[in-house]
Structure formats: C-alpha cells, structure tokens
Structure 1
Amino acid sequence: MAGQIQLSEIEAEMWKHIFFATHLPILITTLDECVLQLNDSARDLLGFDGEITDHKLDKLLARLNPSLRQMIRIQKVLAPAPYNEHLLIYLHDTRENYYAERLLTFYATTLKSLDRNFDLTACCNSVITAAAEVAIENMADWCRIDLREDLGVGPGTVAHKHTALVPFLKELQDIGFENPDDVLSPLKVLRSGASVFHEDILPEMFRMLSISPRTFALFTKVGLRSYICMPIKQNGDTIGCVTLARAPGSANFDAVDAMMAEEFANKLAVNIERALLYKNLAEMKNAAEAANRAKTNFIANVSHEIRTPLGAIVGFSDLLTNSTSTVSERQDWAAKVRTNSTYLLRIIDDILDISKVEAGKVELEISEVDLRELLRELTLFADSRTASKDVHFEVVIETAMPRFIKSDATRLSQILSNLIGNAIKFTSSGFVRLSVSKSETHQSLSFEITDSGIGISPAQAGILFQPFTQADASHTRQFGGTGLGLALSRTLARRLGGDLVLMDSELGKGSSFLVTVDCICPENGPMFTNLSEQDNEHKIKIMDVTSLDFATALQGREILLVEDSSDIQALLQRFLEGAGAKISIANNGEDGVRAARLKSYDVILMDVQMPIKDGCQATMELRSEGYSNLIVALTANAMKEERDRCLAAGFDAHLSKPIRRHDLIQRLMGFLGQFEKRQGEITPSV
C-alpha cells in the first residue's frame, strides 16, 4: 500500500510514534525508491539490522521472494502520490502463504509422482531410479540415492538435470570420500542417521574436506552450491540416504526445502519397503512353486521306485505258487523277492529320515565304532552292487587309521553306502574308489568317494543337495532313485560335525565327493592300514547270525505273541517255532493281558497298534499289576519318538517291522540274555 503524505511537525511526531510502535512492517522512501526509514517490524521481515546509508528499495526487497517485490511495485504504480515527495510503503508478509503453497504443490505433484512411478512388480532399483528422476524434475539440480549394501539391491543411483553430467556424478558416487565423516559424505548420514543441510556452500568449505583433486573437480563439474542429505529410514533403522543438490545459479535450499526433502525420503522409504516386500513375496512364491514341482516330481519318482520292487515282489510271489517250477527256480524267485523287499525298505527308511530331517528331529547315537569292520561291510555292499557291472571298487587307506572311533555307526554307514551306491549306479564301467584319511589332531575323519562315471554339470551341481530334487530327470528314469540321498547325507554329515561337498566333477569323466565327520579317536588305541585280519588280538568278537543254530536258539522258551494281523501272526509263529520256542497267540491287547495273568512267559512280543486295547495300554496295565517279565514292543513306526513312547509305557525293548528271521532271533536272544543277567544281579533283601 502506498500513498503520498505531507506532515506538519506535530503530525510528524505522531507519525513517528505510530511508525515505530506498530507491529506492521512499514518503511518510508523517496520517490526514486531510496529508503529513508524502516520500523522494527520491517527490519525483522527484511533481515536488515544495519544503518540506512542510501539503500535502494530494490536491494532491500530482494531479500524477500521476487513475487512479493513485484507485487509492491505494482501497488505503487496503481496508487501514485500526486502531491508529496515521499512514499509510505506497507509490506505484507506473504511468506507463510507462499510456503504453504509450495508444500501443497509438493504434496500434490512431487509425492504423487513417486506413487505414479511406483509399480508393485518393479524391483528396488527401478523404484530409486524413478525417485531420482522425480527429484531433479521438482526439487534439485542433481540427486544421488545410496542404499545399504546388505539390502542386496545394488549400489544406488544418480540423476542430473543435464544428462551429459550424469557420468561425472556417477564417478563421484563411485570414488567416495577418504573420510566418511566429511560434512558432504553420504556415509556420514548412513552411519549416524541424522540429516545434513547446508544452505550456502562457500568455496572455503571445500578446503575443509578430505577429498582428492579429482573429487573436487567432479564437484565443480556437476555443480554444488546448496546441499541436503536425508536418511531413508524403516522402523527407525537407516537403510540409505537421498542427497539433493543445487548448482550455482539456482536458488539455495531453505527450511521448507529441507522439510520437503524429509517427506521425500520418508515416501521413498515406504516405496522401497513395498518393493522389497514384493520381491520377498515373489521369491517365496517362486520357491513354493519350485518346492511343489519338486515334490510332485518326487512323488512320481517315489511311486515309480516303490512300484518297481512291489511289482517284482507280487510277480515272483505268484510264481512261487506255481507247482510246475523247479526247486532252483523257486529259490531264485525267493531271492528276488527278498532283494526287492530290502530295496523297498530302504526307500521307506529314506523317506522317514528326510521327514525327520525337515522336522529337525534327527537323533544321533554315539557309541564305539569298529572303523575297519565298517569299511569291510561297505566293501561287501559295494561288491554286491558291482557284481553285474564292469566296475572295480577299492578302498584306499592313506595313513594308519584308528581301529575304534566314537561316532554314530548307523548314520556314518548310511552316508557312505549312499554315496558309494550312487557312484556305482552312475558308473557303467571303470572304477569307484573310497579314500580314507584322518586329521592330524585325530578329531575328524575324511572319506573321499571318486568315480569314473557320467559326471555332473555346473548347473546340475547347483541343485545337487536339494531334497526331492535330482540333478537330471532323465537320469532318474535311466538309473532310478528318489532324489533324497544326497540331501539326507549332507544333513547327517553336518549333524556329525562335518560336511558333504562336491569336490570335483566333469561330464563324462566322473565325480568326487568329500565327507568329513568329527569323531573321538583314542590316542594309543590299535591302528590298521588295510582291511585284512592281521591284528587278531584286537579283533572284535561279533556274533555271526549265519553261525547260530536256529533250530535250538530259543529252545524251551515260552513266548506270548500279541498281534492283530493274522499274516504277521503266522509269519512270526513260523520264525519262532523254527527256533524251538513255544508260542501262544493273543489277537489284541486285552486278550494279551488276560493271557499274561494266567501264565508267566519268558517274553511277550506285543504289537503297539491294535484294536480294543493297544500295546502301550496293555503293557501299562500289566506293569501296574506287578508283571516283571520281559515285554518287547513290535511296531511298524520306526521313529525315535515311537521307541521313546514304548519305553515310557513299560516295554523293555523295541523292534521295528519289518524284521528278518535272523535279526528277530538274534535280537530276542540278546534281550533275554540282558534281562536274565539283570535279574541275576538283583539280590533278595534280607
């Protein structure tokens, strides 16, 4: 507002009082815009605290926004003073409205642009690239976005209004700062999580930085006069930072720009989080689909692997009933039934084992292991597999090995027989070699299995140890297998304190696997260098099943068989009576309890799952009545949890179905011997 005034002395004094007392920003100028006086409110608005010495109005108003200065001039022209030679100018502070308008524009355009450029299917790199482009379009001359390395989404991105300068900006990002705590270093913000704002960067600030001449030249090239670096945070954790800069010639950043930069970083953090979430969901979806495909293939493989031996078992069982067959033919068919039954049992065991692995319930039973005997058994196993092939198997003992170690014999044998079986399966001719060595500390053993078979490609090696997966589906069709062996073997090796790795492989030339396991080896125990029987004084006395006289092994023993399956009843009765035992049969747990009350048996063989009353219920009832004789559980469940449940119910021992005749009789003899020894050690109280 402007108007001409002519004042008397009294009026002048009054105007002077009003002029300095009012809270409105007022100034007085000559007609040629030379400022004569400002009140305190005008000084605060213009940021002027010096003496008035010929300051032009334009110079003072330049401290404000150009649009405000232009508005005052227009008002002066529209309201000229026709008589006086002074102008009274009232300044209206429109900055609050101006800032509000800037913020509204920012929210309506810039942040909306971030949403517009966000695509759920976009990767994180494309999100930050789009954000940098939005920044240089609306907020800055150039932009740099850095993300933490552990996010795994790349090094970040840069953008410049002048695309020709982008390579220099990229080089500046790659070079970095010698001192990560320099005031212009994004690493300072990444590490501290605090923003950095420099409204006006003067040349002397660069002299304070620990930067190379090349870095200084790059800053000069891309242009830097005003600088904001804001942290990008998720849940209070700094995951990156966004740097905004304006070059000389552009308006410096102000407090509103800093506020908008913070909102920009917050919005970018949300978009990054959404992109990472979508990425994780996509990866989980792909992994789930791959797992479903793998399990579908696995089920198909298992179906084939189970049906193949079942077909042989059913077919040769039918042939065994053929009265026109010869004795030698029937013996051959019976052997084939036995071989296929054993193979089928191994498949089921693998499936149960991998189920335990996935549930994290693999249990180890550490005991003394005769390493030489274990290697001899593996040799017999390998020889049976190579009998019909042009493949030579050998065991190489590289150094003197301890005869006895502390480990899990079952799991160690399972790992090695699996690898040896695979090597033989995929080797049509040539060799399979098992090399054995120990560490210098005697605390670990190494087993290297090398073959001259078909080999493995690098692509196949990448999925070799995944459960339910085989390296090549065509090999599954050609050679068979469930795809569980290697995954299970690696898990077991790691549970034994070691690992299983593919050392080397070449298509058409063979493969080499290395198994390591931790063990306890006695320092002064017997050693061996080959598998022959040279150290007889240390030979373990092992009961040979084939040497037992099965006709009298259980002579005179009274055995109660509690089993609901008539087929299993007939089979076990034949096994046990063939060893000289006297058998009584009960069809369920209730009948078994009743029979045990009427007669004392040397041993009760009790099935666990039966109608009316199961084995655990029957055993607990007998124990509660004081029954103290031997009770052995029979169960088709081979899990450790089932064994523990049986022992907790009062069983003395546990046998898993199916069980071979030799194993059944040998185990029963062992159980009876241990039980009678314990009974003999119990002295009657006086």
Structure 2
Amino acid sequence: AQEETQKQTALLMQEIEAHERTDGQLQKAKEAREAANLAKSRYLVGIGHEFRTPLSAIFGYSQMLERDPAMPPHRVDAVRVIRRSAEHLSGLLDGLLDVSKIESGRLQLNRAEVRFGDLLDQLVGMFRLQAEAKGIAFRFEAPEDLPPVVFTDEGRIRQILINLLSNAIKFTDAGTVCLRVRHRSQIAEFEVEDTGPGIALADLERIFQPFERGSAANPMVPGMGLGLTITKLLTEVMGGEITVTSTPGTGSLFRVRLMMSAAMLSTASSQPDLPIRGYRGPRLTVLVTDDDLAHRNLLADLLTELGFTVFKATDGPTCLTLAELHRPDILLLDISMPGMSGLEVAKRLRASGQDDTTIVLVSADTREDRPADSRSAGTGADGGQPHDGFVAKPVSIPKLLACIGRLRAIDWEYETPDGTDDGPPDFAASELPPQHHIAELIHLGRIGYVRGMQAKLAEIAAAHPELERFVGRMRTLVSNYDLNQYMAALEAVYRDDSHDDASHDDEIRNQTA
C-alpha cells in the first residue's frame, strides 16, 4: 500500500508539473498575443497618422477651391470629386482604427444635435450617383414627418449607413438598391435592401466576422470584409441592433434600429448651411503651429481670407516665443511635433498664465480625439486637459470654424445663397416656372409648411428640369429656414411678371384658396 501511495503521489507530481508547463506556455502565448495586438494597434495608429497628414492638405485645399467664387462650374465638380475621395479615404482610416478602439473599450460617442434631413440628403445624393454610374436604380423612401433635428453621433450614423449602402451597390449588378427610413417613439429604423446575389443561410452570422465574405459574393469585387464587422460593432456600442434577412438569388435586407431622440428646433436647425465669408467684431489673432508646411499654410490661408491676423510657428519653442510676444486669442496646435509635443506646449502656456488664449488641438493623432476636460490652473498637471477643443485631421473647414466659433462666441457672416450680400436672388424669365406654381409656393410660405414647399419644389424639378437654378436656390432657402428671404424672392418674381395686373391678384387668391 505504501509503494502504491508513493507511485500515485509521483504520478500526481508529474501531472502537476505538466500543468505548470502548460500554464507557462499559455501565459507566454497570451503575452505574445497581447504584444502582437498592441503592435497592431500602434501600427494602425502610426500609419493612420502618416496618411492623415498629406490627406489633410488634399482635403483642406479642395474645400477652399470649392468655396472660391472664381472657380469655373466644371472645375468645381472636379474639385468636389477630389474632396469626396479624400473624405472616403479618411473614412477607411477611421474604420480600421475603430476596430482596435472597440476591442480595447476606448471608442467614444459624441451625442449632438444633427439635422436629420440634411444628413439623409447628402447620403442619398452621393449613392444615387454611384448607383446610376453602375446602371442600377436607387430609391429613397421616408415619411414626411421625420424630425428635422435629432440627438445622435452623426459620424457613427454616417459610417453605418455608408458601409451598408456601399455593400449593397457593390454587390448588386442589376435591379435596385433602396434606403428606407422611419422614426417613431424616439427610435430610428434604417433599411437597406438590394436585389443582389443574396446571402446563404450558413453565411448570415459569418459575414459579421472580420475579413469574412459571403460565399455568394463575387470574388472579383474588391473589399477587405471589414465593413459589416465595423457596422455591427458600432450599432451595438450605440445600443442598437442590426439584423439581416436574405434569399440567395433574390437579394438582401439589412435593418438597423437605433435610439435617436427628436430635438426641438435649435441652433442645429437655424444655423445657415452656407459658406462663411468673415466675422463681426474686433479682429482676432491666431497662431498656427504645425511642423508640416502644407498644413500650416492651409490653415493660415483659410483664416487670413476670413479676416483673422495669423502668425505661423514650425515647432514648440517657436510657438512659445511667438505666444509670449503676440498673446494670440486663438492657438491652433499640432500634437506630434519633433522636440516638444503640442500637449507640452499647451501645458507650458497655461503655466505661464495665458488662460485667455483658446487652444485647439488640430492633429492626426486620433488618440487625442476627446473633449477638453476642466483644467486646474490651466496646467493639466492634475489630469485635466490644457486645451479647449480638438479637431482631427484631415481638417473639415466647417467643423474647424464651428469649433472656433463656439469657443470664442464669434458672430459669423455668411454668404447668401445667390452669392450676394443682400437682396433676393435675380432670375431671368426663362428660369421661372409657370405663375400658378409660384402662387402655390407663396401660399405654402405664408402658412410655413416646410414639407409642402419641399414637395412642391420636387414637383417643379420633375416637370421642368431646365429650372434647376430656381429650384436649387429655393431649396437652399427652405432648408436653411430662411422664410423671409424665400418670400421676398417669390413675391419679387411674381410682382415683376404680373405687370401689376389685377387678374394676377385674382389668380393668387384662387391658387391660395
């Protein structure tokens, strides 16, 4: 019995040693996997930074050229293509980084007021052109009672819909792609339906895995298999759900449901969606600090055109010297610079007592993409942030100006829809619709029925494609809720064409009745 006990004890000790060796190997494998995952994330962040720096110059200068009134119309279309392509590349970079952020739990959602109709119109306009270029139909279905303003993360919603619509158009060779939108009880529901090859039942769960594609997908169609993975992750992070139903050979239907509360008409609905041409009040001084020459000159050119006094610095020490000399009102500061980082520069400025300077970080380092926290004595030494705002590269001019305007309470001056300073737009007689259409538009304006105005303008555009200029400018006024300008333009046109004839007064009364 003693010999058997010793034998069993020896066997147990050998098994314990084997488990210890296995555990050690598992621990090493875990450490290697974590190191590889960290290296992957660092690589993605690094390559993203390298891509964003030149992409920022392309994106920024294309926006400036698009705003230039001297640019010929056919060149504006070409510049617009460059700008949209830069946006697409930026979106691809964001998608790659989002996977790492979600896995590490560092993804942030920015809930803000979003003009729902404008967001949908931009997406529909972009993908309708893509569908037409491929020879398939694109339909957009939405009720008239969609809320004009909602609370959500616009960037994430845009990313979800772009991924779904891109896939639908990419894999559909003939037929139709349809986007449907509904909103009720503070829940938004988006449906993307196509007549593509469909998805086999065995692939319905697998298609949401990274780098996976359905077996029915055309192998010649480009793609990495990350779009649906990112879409599912973003939907779940936002507290929503995504489902898919599909019939092989018939098509697929993706449905996304998200919490999206409606907002009362506020700054998001009243803010003009027009180019900024300057600002009112005393002139402000801006110090632009960036080690990249192209990006430094881009921001300086933009702000100089708007009336700011601009100084430029190439690195941190130069920035500190110029800041002490000129005491700028606004400091635009890159983060990654040789010698001294932008965050260190900001901390030193706060420590020197420059609390009145508004510091905005403008960087391709998306790890710093977070709102400014309350700071203690402006130093950031206790964990608070020494900066007031953040704008990611490639820089969106509207977002940059919105950030500056919000932090400094700047009263912007906007271009009017027709490019003049004031007064209603002028139309030639050949650019005007029949008088009964104008009379109906006047009536809808008097009662403030925005949906009715939009529907009437759509009717005019369908019946008279040659009236593109008239319809476009009226749509801009309606979308900006500039009903005073809308009514002034229509009444001026109607009065000019009526020759003050009393019969036209009768016509208006009949039409409005």
Task: Report the TM-score range of the alignment, normalised by the length of the smaller protein.
Answer: 0.5 to 0.7
For each residue in 1:192-217, what CA deviation from the matched residue of structure 2 results, as whole angstroms up to 9, or x when unmatched? xxxxxxxxxxxxxxxxxxxxxxxxxx
What is the total number of aligned residue pairs between the two structures? 367
> Which of the numbers 293, 303, 307 marks the counterpart of 1:576?
303
| Residues 373 and 618 (structure 1), Cα distance of their counterparts in 2 relative to 1, 3 Å cut | same
Residue 371 (str. 1) matches residue 100 (str. 2): no
CA offset digits 1:560-594 (Å, max 9, x no partner)? 11112222222222222233333211121111111
Q: Distance in 1 between matches of 2:268 and 2:274?
A: 17
Query: Which residue pairs with 1:511 in the alignment?
Result: 252
Distance 1:399 1:613, change over 3 A: closer
Q: Which residue identity does 1:543 align to in structure 2?
A: P
Q: Aligned partner of 2:328: which letter?
A: Y
Q: Which amino acid aligns with 2:231?
A: S
Q: 1:497 aligns with which of 239, 251, 256?
A: 239
What residue number does 1:659 align with? Answer: 395
How far the C-alpha of 1:452 sits from its partner, in A, is 1.0
User: Residue 205 of structure 2 aligns with which residue?
Assistant: 462
TM-score of the pair, normalised by structure 2: 0.59
2:271 corresponding residue in structure 1 = 542
2:135 is aligned, of 390, 404, 409, to 390
Q: Deviation per CA, 1:480-539: give whole Å up to 9, x if none.
A: 33322211111121122221121x223332111111123445xxx88xxxxxxxxx9999
Task: Tell me how far apart the structure 1 counterparts of residues 170 and 400 of structure 2 sit (CA, whole Å).
Answer: 31
User: Structure 1 CA distance, aligned partners of 2:350 and 2:400?
Assistant: 24
Structure 1 residue 407 corresponds to structure 2 residue 152: yes
Q: 1:482 is matched with which residue? A: 224
Once the two structures are TM-superposed, the CA of residue 631 in structure 1 deviates from its matched residue by 1.8
Rounded to whole Å, the distance in 2 between the matches of 1:558 and 1:626 is 18
Distance 2:168 2:368 in 1: 30
Shift of 1:347: 0.9
Among 409, 414, 439, the residue aligned to 1:673: 409
CA distance in structure 2 between the aligned counterparts of 1:360 and 1:474, rounded to whole angstroms: 32
Secondary structure (helix, strand or coil) at the match of 1:583 reads strand
CA distance in 2, matches of 1:663, 1:560: 18
Find the aligned partners of 1:632 and 1:538 in 2 and give their Cα distance: 22
Tell me the amino acid that sits aligned with residue 242 of structure 2: L
Please name the residue that 1:650 is paired with. 386
Q: 1:351 to 1:621 in 2, by over 3 A?
A: same
Q: Check the 8 A contact 2:182/2:189 in 1, yes or no.
A: yes
Superimposed CA distance per residue, residues 621-646 of structure 1 (whole angstroms, 9 cap, x where no aligned partner): 22122211222111111235665589
- CA offsets per residue over residues 42-74 of structure 1, 9 Å max, x none? xxxxxxxxxxxxxxxxxxxxxxxxxxxxxxxxx
Match of residue 446 from structure 1? 189
* CA distance in structure 2 between the partners assigned to 1:601 and 1:493 by the alignment: 42
Matched, 1:618 2:345: yes
The amino acid of 2:363's aligned partner reads T
Distance 1:489 1:596, change over 3 A: same
Q: Larger % of helix: which? A: 2
Aligned-residue RMSD, C-alpha: 4.6
Pair 564,470 (structure 1): closer, same or farther in 2 beyond 3 Å: same
Whole-angstrom distance in 1 between the partners of 2:96 and 2:373: 21
The Cα shift of 1:401 comes to 4.5
Match of residue 638 from structure 1 = 366
2:312 maps to what in 1? 585
Structure 1's 344 and 407: CA in aligned 2 closer, same or farther, altered over 3 A? closer
Q: Which amino acid aligns with 2:251?
A: G
Question: Contact 1:554–1:581 (CA<8 Å) still a contact in 2?
Answer: no
Runs of at least 5 residues in structure 2 that lack an aligned partner in the other structure: 63-71, 376-383, 413-513
1:561 and 2:288 matched = yes
Which residue of structure 2 aligns with residue 424 of structure 1?
A: 169
Q: CA deviation at 1:408?
A: 2.7
Tell me how far apart the structure 1 counterparts of residues 196 and 261 of structure 2 sit (CA, whole Å).
Answer: 34
- For residue 431 of structure 1, report the CA deviation from its aligned partner: 1.5
1:639 partner SS: helix
Query: Which runs of 5 or more residues in structure 1 are unaligned?
Result: 1-99, 112-265, 318-326, 527-535, 677-686
1:433 partner letter: C
* Structure-1 separation of matches of 2:301 and 2:197: 47
CA distance in 2, matches of 1:610, 1:349: 22
SS of match in other structure, 1:623: helix
% of aligned pairs identical? Answer: 28
CA–CA distance in structure 1, aligned partners of residues 81 and 283 of structure 2: 34
Contact persistence 2:199–2:247 (CA under 8 A): yes
Question: What does 1:308-327 align with in structure 2 at a 5 Å threshold?
Answer: none
* Structure-2 separation of matches of 1:539 and 1:610: 35
Q: Which has the larger radius of gyration?
A: 1
Match for 2:393: what amino acid? K
1:451 aligned partner, one-letter code: D
Contact 1:357 1:488 in 2 (8 A): no
CA–CA distance in 1 between the matches of 2:343 and 2:296? 19
Q: In the TM superposition, what whole-angstrom CA distance separates every residue of 1:171-200 from its partner, at most 9, and x where no partner exists?
A: xxxxxxxxxxxxxxxxxxxxxxxxxxxxxx
User: 1:652 corresponds to which letter in structure 2?
Assistant: D
